[in-house]
């Protein structure tokens, strides 16, 4: 599901069985040039941070140093909010996460949601990918 036709982000997901009931998810989020995704929200301003969910587990952690993860952020002064500073993701986010999955589940949903901006507008994004699981 997506809120706009030309999404400024692309979600790519692969899952490989790596053990008994263990799957390693390789997730890549590409952010189009000129856009940024909010990494940390601001509830007062209504800014929702981008999150990646595997099932119901949030795995997107800004500036995560886990092996295999590249979730680096930068600090910008957003002109839409009179130069207020926000921590954002730009260009690409890559995550490698191993998750235990119960037997009998044929697929799992991987969901990216949050807000992105090009300094002229803010766009809500929600992308859901269904990943087949073979235990």
124, 46 Cβ separation under 8 angstroms = no
Q: How many domains does the chain have?
A: 1
| Sequential pLDDT tens for the chain (135 residues) | 444 457 899 999 999 999 988 899 999 999 999 999 999 989 999 998 999 988 877 776 666 655 556 778 999 999 999 999 999 999 889 988 888 887 778 888 999 999 999 999 999 999 999 998 876
- CATH label of the domain that carries residue 46: 2.60.40
Domain extent, residue 87, equals 9-132
Structural domain contains residue 3? no
Distance CA 73, CA 89 (A): 5
CA 121 from centre of chain: 19
The pLDDT of residue 30: 94
How does pLDDT run across 64-76, given as a tens digit for each residue?
Answer: 655 556 778 999 9
């Amino acid at each position: 599901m997506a809120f706009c036709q030309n999404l400024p982000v692309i979600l790519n997901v692969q899952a490989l069985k790596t053990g008994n009931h263990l799957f390693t998810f390789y997730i890549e989020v590409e952010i189009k040039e000129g856009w940024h995704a909010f990494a940390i929200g601001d509830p007062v301003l209504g800014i929702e941070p981008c999150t990646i969910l595997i099932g119901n587990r949030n795995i997107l952690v800004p500036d995560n140093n886990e092996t295999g993860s590249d979730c680096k952020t930068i600090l910008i002064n957003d002109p839409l909010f009179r130069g207020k500073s926000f921590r954002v993701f730009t260009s690409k986010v890559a995550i490698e996460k191993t998750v235990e999955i119960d037997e009998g589940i044929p697929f799992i949903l991987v969901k990216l949601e949050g807000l992105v901006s090009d300094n002229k507008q803010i766009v809500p994004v929600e992308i859901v990918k269904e990943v087949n699981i073979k235990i």
